[in-house]
């Protein structure tokens, strides 16, 4: 088997689509599969390699698709199975891979499996979910808390026991210690892989196995008031149990039954625990998501340390990856500022490893303030007033200056950003210095220079707001210099090497400029330096 083809995800660029918000094709204000098909030429022109879709399966939508009621269907809100088949075919014809979300930790409480499980204590599917008696003195079995507020245990009057839900009460957790549950989910994987998808992003993969004794979680000594209340306890016994790696190895074996597929894990854990999810080359997830850039202090030294620690901790043969935004975290342009969003783009697309883009980040979409009467996110509804709502990063894609930004002919399910009439794909594509054109230029340069894909990462000592590193490999060496501050700075020629020229600036106005002596950077500017022969 050709290794380049088998490991396409190592040199690919992933693009996350939140289907509800990408493109509406039928005028109901909600995005759908036909809308995604319509926009595939845009994704091809952007230069990405794989489209990852958040859930599109049948669901009551208590958590907007992460509460699945049927694993092998398409929710009518998004279209039909024929629409999905057409999406896979059309994407592949355009050179794009398709990645689906796998949500194995929990189902909807309306799933037929759960209906059977809660029917009686002796139902054959009772042990498919996590049922426990309450404490002798009353109350839930232990102190575990839901990510979305309150106890993680829900009492069921009919059978007199509690069931566990790490998220909403409408999302009961499956019992992954039950071999029948594992087998059923693996068959779900085979169903979609058989339809031609190219892999899965596995939701909350570190949650799958819980402590067998259901011990109380310890208190969090570093809890800060104003943070989500579930953070008052550490998830020592409710997540990241050693046995989860056996499950991931089994998932990987299912993936490997099919050629050229990838397994990606969603994992919010400290670095020293994250890297265990790589397993060995054949037993772990090929890409446990690295979310370090989503929460770090946006400073040169903080980012430099994150990169060094991650590169230093990766197991032999493991492939790095980087993420700047997703459907759960505030938009990068709002986190770091409009000017630094361009520098962030250059960072993402020049670090060693596979980058994942979140829809709309390439046009600098901002976090949208959601009025109380427009809140849709159950997290915000359950834990209001502390800013945990995720609606603001899920607003409709801004395509043009027409009604509803070209997303729909109807009122969108979430409000549009105030700037959508001018900050949109049509306008920015026509502006040769826009952030969208920067993303396209970065992706094109990444394809042209193999060292930006497979080259080694070599940090260069720097001070202040400058982040400096080299990418060395086939094709030679390029230098990336990023000014993470607002003031102009100068970088000594001894740090970047002599005889270089600017291949790309985040301002898109210095390409081909020879660097004589020191490199002068404007505030909030990043550049890629090389030799003209490399870019030719």
pLDDT (tens, 9 = 90+) of the chain, 536 residues, equals: 466 778 999 999 999 999 999 999 999 999 999 999 999 999 999 999 999 999 999 999 999 999 999 999 999 999 999 999 999 999 999 999 999 999 999 999 999 999 999 999 999 999 999 999 999 988 999 999 999 999 999 999 999 999 999 999 999 999 999 999 999 999 999 999 999 999 999 999 999 999 999 999 999 999 999 999 999 999 999 999 999 999 999 999 999 999 999 999 999 999 999 999 998 777 899 999 999 999 999 999 999 999 999 999 999 989 999 999 999 999 999 999 999 999 999 999 999 999 999 999 999 999 999 999 999 999 999 999 999 999 999 999 999 999 899 999 999 999 999 999 999 999 999 999 999 999 999 999 999 999 999 999 999 999 999 999 999 998 899 999 999 999 999 999 989 987 899 999 999 999 999 998 899 999 999 999 998 544 34
Q: Are 357 and 286 found together in one domain?
A: yes
Dist CA 154 CA 87 (whole Å)? 39
pLDDT of residue 5: 79
pLDDT of residue 471: 98
Q: Supply 341's token pair.
A: 């969003």
Establish whether 391 is a catalytic residue: no
Burial of 85 (0-12, 13-18, 19+ CB in 10 A): middle
Is residue 501 a part of any domain in this protein?
A: yes
Burial of 331 (0-12, 13-18, 19+ CB in 10 A): buried
Residues with Cβ within 8 Å of residue 357, at least 6 apart in sequence: 13, 14, 15, 16, 48, 324, 325, 348, 439
- CATH code, domain with 142: 3.90.400.10
Dist CA 417 CA 396 (whole Å)? 8
Q: Are 391 and 501 found together in one domain?
A: no
Quick one: the chain helix, strand, coil %, rounded to 5?
35, 15, 50
Is residue 172 a part of any domain in this protein?
A: no
Residues with Cβ within 8 Å of residue 162, at least 6 apart in sequence: 131, 132, 133, 134, 140, 141, 153, 154, 155, 156
pLDDT of residue 3: 63
Dist CA 153 CA 381 (whole Å)? 19
Is residue 448 a part of any domain in this protein?
A: no
Q: Are 329 and 460 found together in one domain?
A: no
Is residue 173 a part of any domain in this protein?
A: no
Q: Which of 441, 465, 485 is the last residue of a domain?
A: 441
Question: Residues 452, 350: contact at Cβ < 8 Å?
Answer: yes
Element (H, E) at 524: none
Q: Which of 441, 471, 489 is the last residue of a domain?
A: 441
Q: Are 101 and 118 found together in one domain?
A: no
Q: Are 244 and 211 found together in one domain?
A: yes
Q: Are 292 and 375 found together in one domain?
A: yes
pLDDT of residue 281: 72
Sole residue written with tokens 């009460």: 169
- Determine the structural domain holding residue 266 and report its residue range: 3-105+179-441
Q: Are 152 and 196 found together in one domain?
A: no
Residue 480 is classified by DSSP as: E
pLDDT of residue 6: 82
Sign of the torsion angle spanned by Cα atoms 524, 439, 303, 499: negative
What are the Cα distances from residue 516, in Å, to 48, 203, 500? 35, 50, 8
Is residue 135 a part of any domain in this protein?
A: yes
Pairing of β 161-164 and β 262-265 = unpaired
Length of the chain, please? 536
Dist CA 517 CA 536 (whole Å)? 23
Sign of the torsion angle spanned by Cα atoms 344, 350, 355, 358: positive
pTM over 0.95: yes
Dist CA 452 CA 292 (whole Å)? 20
What does the DSSP assignment read for 79-91?
A: --HHHHHHHHHHH
pLDDT of residue 201: 98
pLDDT of residue 2: 60
Establish whether 511 is a catalytic residue: no
Q: Are 47 and 88 found together in one domain?
A: yes
Is residue 449 a part of any domain in this protein?
A: no
Task: Say how many domains are in the chain.
Answer: 3
Q: Are 12 and 122 found together in one domain?
A: no
Q: Give the strands of the sheet with 456-459, arranged side by side.
A: 456-459, 466-473, 476-483, 526-530, 501-505
Question: Residues 292, 336: contact at Cβ < 8 Å?
Answer: no
Sole residue written with tokens 């069931």: 163
Element (H, E) at 119: none
Q: Are 222 and 356 found together in one domain?
A: yes
Is residue 446 a part of any domain in this protein?
A: no
Q: Which of 120, 135, 164 is the last residue of a domain?
A: 164
pLDDT of residue 1: 42
- CATH code, domain with 46: 3.20.20.80
Q: Are 45 and 65 found together in one domain?
A: yes
Is residue 302 a part of any domain in this protein?
A: yes
Q: Are 499 and 363 found together in one domain?
A: no
Dist CA 13 CA 48 (whole Å)? 5
Indicate which residue of 257, 309, 418, 509 is catalytic.
257
Pairing of β 526-530 and β 501-505 = antiparallel
Residues with Cβ within 8 Å of residue 159, at least 6 apart in sequence: 118, 120, 121, 131
């Amino acid at each position: 088997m050709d290794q380049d083809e088998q490991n396409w995800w190592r040199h690919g660029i992933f693009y996350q689509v939140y289907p509800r918000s990408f493109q509406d094709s039928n005028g109901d204000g909600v995005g759908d599969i036909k809308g995604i098909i319509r926009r595939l030429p845009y994704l091809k022109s952007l230069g990405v390699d794989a489209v990852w879709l958040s859930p599109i399966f049948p669901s009551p939508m208590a958590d907007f698709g992460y509460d699945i009621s049927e694993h092998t269907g398409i929710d009518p809100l998004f279209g039909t199975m024929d629409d999905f088949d057409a999406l896979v075919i059309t994407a592949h014809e355009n050179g794009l891979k398709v990645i689906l979300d796998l949500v194995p930790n929990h189902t909807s409480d309306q799933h037929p499996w759960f209906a059977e499980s809660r029917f009686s204590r002796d139902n054959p599917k009772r042990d498919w979910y996590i049922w426990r008696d309450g404490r002798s003195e009353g109350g839930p079995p232990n102190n575990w808390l839901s990510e979305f507020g309150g106890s993680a245990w829900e009492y069921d009057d009919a059978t007199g026991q509690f069931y566990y839900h790490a998220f909403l009460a409408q999302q009961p957790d499956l019992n992954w210690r039950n071999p029948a549950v594992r087998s059923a989910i693996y068959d779900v994987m085979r169903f979609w892989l058989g339809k031609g998808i190219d892999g899965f992003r596995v939701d909350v993969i570190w949650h799958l196995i819980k402590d067998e004794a259901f011990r109380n979680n310890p208190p969090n000594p570093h809890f800060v008031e104003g943070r989500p209340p579930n953070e008052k306890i550490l998830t020592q016994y409710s997540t990241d149990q050693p046995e989860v790696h056996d499950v991931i190895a089994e998932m990987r074996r299912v993936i490997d039954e099919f050629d050229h597929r990838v397994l990606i894990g969603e994992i919010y854990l400290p670095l020293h625990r994250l890297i265990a999810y790589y397993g060995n080359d054949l037993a772990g997830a090929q890409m446990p998501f690295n979310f370090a850039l989503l929460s770090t202090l946006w400073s040169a030294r903080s980012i430099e340390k994150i990169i060094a620690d991650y590169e230093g901790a990766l197991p032999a043969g493991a492939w790095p990856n980087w993420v700047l935004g997703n459907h759960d975290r505030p938009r990068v342009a709002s986190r770091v500022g409009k000017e630094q969003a361009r520098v962030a783009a250059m960072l993402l697309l020049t670090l060693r490893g596979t980058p994942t883009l979140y829809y709309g980040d390439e046009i600098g979409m901002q976090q949208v303030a959601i009025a109380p009467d427009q809140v849709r996110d159950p997290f915000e509804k359950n834990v209001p007033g502390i800013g945990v709502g995720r609606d603001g990063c899920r607003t409709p894609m801004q395509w043009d200056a027409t009604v509803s930004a070209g997303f729909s002919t109807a009122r969108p399910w979430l409000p549009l950003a105030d700037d959508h009439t001018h900050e949109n794909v049509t306008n920015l594509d026509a502006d040769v210095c826009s952030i969208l054109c920067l993303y396209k230029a970065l992706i094109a340069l990444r394809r042209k220079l193999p060292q930006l894909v497979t080259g080694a990462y070599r940090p260069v000592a720097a001070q202040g707001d400058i982040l400096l590193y080299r990418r060395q490999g086939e094709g030679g060496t390029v230098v990336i210099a990023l000014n993470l501050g607002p003031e102009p700075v100068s970088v000594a020629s001894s740090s970047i090497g002599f005889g270089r020229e600017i291949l790309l600036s985040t301002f898109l106005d210095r390409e081909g400029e020879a660097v004589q002596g020191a490199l002068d950077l404007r505030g909030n500017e990043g550049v890629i330096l090389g030799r003209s022969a490399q870019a030719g």
